[in-house]
Structure 1
Amino acid sequence: MPTDDLPETFHVTTAEQLRAVSNLTRHRIMAVLRFEPATITQIAERVGLAKGSSSYHVRLLERAGLVKVVRTRKVRGVTERYYAMAAQAIVLPDPGAGQPDVLMRHAVADLEAAPADAERHVGMAHLRLTDEQFAELGARLGALADEYRKLSDPSLPDTSFVFALFHPARRDQAEGDAK
């Protein structure tokens, strides 16, 4: 099943769904299924898990509605299931005040796990923007991600593009929270 046949978005709305995507292993399994369906064995090999662990995590994702069986076939009397994402994009709710941002935590973990000798582009810029400039930059970054998402080829190695555009806590607020 090509990913074009999937619904465009799946909105995470329940506590069960949020728990399912909050786990780094399940995040990595969903990354494997981002472009093409895979069996439990294929997922286990790509993520570096035992088949039993892979099966457990996929079942939790399936129960939460985040992945689904898209194809089956018989192999030596056993039914082999191919899993795919339930949608092309998973939309997480905004974290509440003081709550960790799951996407950013997973992105940092993936960056830290990436090969140290691999090419990477990581940077941070402190800007002073009007509300209009802030909104425009956010829209442009989103459009850039969408443009390159359309160019994605499942036969090529994975590339992650992560961005965060936000207003940091004012220094006096952050210091007040620490007291």
Structure 2
Amino acid sequence: MTIWRMPADEPPETTFHVTTDEQLRAVSNLTRHRIMAALRFEPATITQIAEQVGLAKGSSSYHVRLLERVGLVKVVRTRKVRGVTERYYAMAVQSIALPDPGAGQPDVLMRHAVADLEAAPVDVERHVRMAHLRLTESQFAELGARLQALADEYQGLSDPSLPDVSLVFALFRPAAREQTREDTK
């Protein structure tokens, strides 16, 4: 199960378990992923979301309404501005638990993380590394727990006034690959 986490002191609800096709479609869309990321730390209006994500207001409104319909975002306050009610949206949940992808299916979070990495500025510092390890079952479990604890520790230090930083990690056992003739040369 893949978990997408928000800062612990933000939304009141805990974990949202994605169980329906509509919910999966809602979180599988890269634009909606970016909208949820924009709402991680503070509520925003449709106009503010559109500016942050780089969308037209109409598109932003469509995606936010869909996220609201499945229960991932909610209106947290309203105010009247020149006779129009302005709504501020925020995440309605602290974390999202996704079902494990089926055989041959892409992992939604990793696909979004790669898209975000590819869209990130290349002229700023970043740390990207892939390591191939050989671990016992207990070493594998220990490393997973340590990575999660480190992510949780830094999430606790997170300051909404600072620029966003994304941390993505995946610890997994790759599928056994068949040896080809090219591998033996």
TM (norm. structure 2) is: 0.90
Higher relative contact order (CA 8 A, sep 6+): 2
The reply on whether 1:38 has 2:70 as its aligned counterpart is: no
Q: Which ranges in structure 2 are unaligned for 5 or more consecutive residues? A: 1-7
Aligned residues: 174
Superposition CA RMSD, Å: 1.7
Once the two structures are superposed, the pairs formed by residues 95-134 of structure 1 within 5 Å of their partners are 95-134=101-140
The secondary structure found in structure 2 opposite 1:38 is coil
CA shift digits 1:7-65 (9 cap, x unpaired): 23222111111100100000000000011111001000100111011000101111111
Contact 1:12 1:91 in 2 (8 A): yes
Residue of structure 2 in register with 1:29 after alignment:
35
> Distance between the aligned counterparts of 1:74 and 1:167, measured in 2?
53
The aligned counterpart of 2:175 is 169
Query: Which of 49, 72, 75 is residue 69 of structure 1 equivalent to?
Result: 75
In structure 2, distance between residues paired with 1:163 and 1:173: 27
Kindly report which structure 2 residues correspond to 1:81-100, keeping only aligned pairs within 5 A, or say none: 81-100=87-106
* 1:157 has 2:163 as partner: yes
Amino acid at match of 2:134: R
Deviation at 1:174, TM superposition (A): 9.7
CA 120–98 in structure 1, closer or farther in 2 if over 3 Å, else same = same
How far apart are the structure 2 equivalents of 1:103 and 1:73?
A: 34
In the alignment, the residues of structure 2 paired with residue 66 and residue 174 of structure 1 have an alpha-carbon distance, to the nearest angstrom, of 45
CA distance in 1, matches of 2:166, 2:36: 13
Q: 3-state DSSP class of the match of 1:37?
A: coil
Q: CA deviation at 1:118?
A: 1.3
| Partners of 1:174 and 1:67 in 2: CA distance | 48
Shift of 1:4: 3.2
Identical-pair percentage: 83
1:91, distance to aligned residue in structure 2 (A): 1.6
Q: Cα 1:120–1:54, aligned 2, differ >3 Å: closer, same or farther?
A: same
**CA distance in 2: counterparts of 1:165 and 1:15, whole angstroms:** 26
Separation (CA, whole Å) in 1 of partners of 2:179 and 2:57: 47
